[in-house]
Amino acid sequence: MASSKEAQKDAYDLILEAIDTGIYAPGDRLVESELAERFGVSRTPIREALQRLETQSMLTRTGRSLIVASLDHNQLAELYAVRAELEGLAARLAAQHASPEEVRVLFSMVEQDRGLVENPARLSRANRRFHNQIHLASHNRYLIAQLDLVHRSMALLATTSLAVDGRGLQALDEHLAIVKAIAAGDGDAACEAVKRHLSYAFETRLKIDAGEVSASR
């Protein structure tokens, strides 16, 4: 039988995954009893998980209700600024420490993901796996932990920029440039390629929010 700590962790991970995959979108209300029934977990660990997510600003309170938080313009800009610096460092370290096997996996991911361009939701999940693989290839546990926090907040975006016409293929070309720099052991180039990639992603996100382009989750 799972301990209370294990149950709490399971409840937390389940709710977080549901937000990340769009089951619960920004603005959706989370009800303790409904979550317990959905996930087959008792209400106590659900309550503790909700409190933890609220503390992490993943949830916000309106009256007595908890809803999935959303990011305003300033928060979005702050998030991308921090993400660019941390991801740039991860790519720089990956260029120094990635094994040949890890590099081959990154190249393989880029090629496989080209088959997902017509499915933005799946491409978005593949995109997260790709970036996470770079984090792991940095071989720096402290940086990986910080990037995990940043990417957790990315789940609060209601749409994916990869759904914008042409952005998917462009992003994959940018991924390929990142991997080539890592494979060459060029930390400066890898860092700059990641920052350029995220700059384009942020620009696309701003266009979505301004109504200049459209995208779906």
Could you tell me the pLDDT band of residue 1, with boundaries at 50, 70 and 90? very low
What local confidence, expressed as pLDDT, does residue 214 receive? 63
Could you tell me the pLDDT band of residue 209, with boundaries at 50, 70 and 90? confident
Does residue 130 contact residue 171 with C-beta atoms inside 8 Å? no
Could you tell me the pLDDT band of residue 37, with boundaries at 50, 70 and 90? very high
CATH architecture of the domain formed by 4-68: Orthogonal Bundle (1.10)
Does residue 45 contact residue 4 with C-beta atoms inside 8 Å? yes
Query: Which pLDDT tens digit goes with each residue over 61-92?
Result: 988 899 999 888 899 999 999 999 999 999 99
Q: Where in the chain is the domain with CATH 1.20.120.530?
A: 73-210
Could you tell me the pLDDT band of residue 8, with boundaries at 50, 70 and 90? low
Q: Where in the chain is the domain with CATH 1.10.10.10?
A: 4-68
Query: Which pLDDT tens digit goes with each residue over 131-175?
Result: 999 999 999 999 999 999 898 888 888 678 888 989 999 999 999
**Unique residue bearing structure tokens 């720099």:** 181
Is the pLDDT score of 17 beyond 90? no
Name the CATH topology of 73-210: Four Helix Bundle (Hemerythrin (Met), subunit A) (1.20.120)
Angle made by CA atoms 20, 160, 131, in degrees to the nearest 5: 70
The identity of residue 210, as a single letter, is A
What local confidence, expressed as pLDDT, does residue 156 receive? 86
Q: Is the overall model pTM greater than 0.75, yes or no?
A: yes
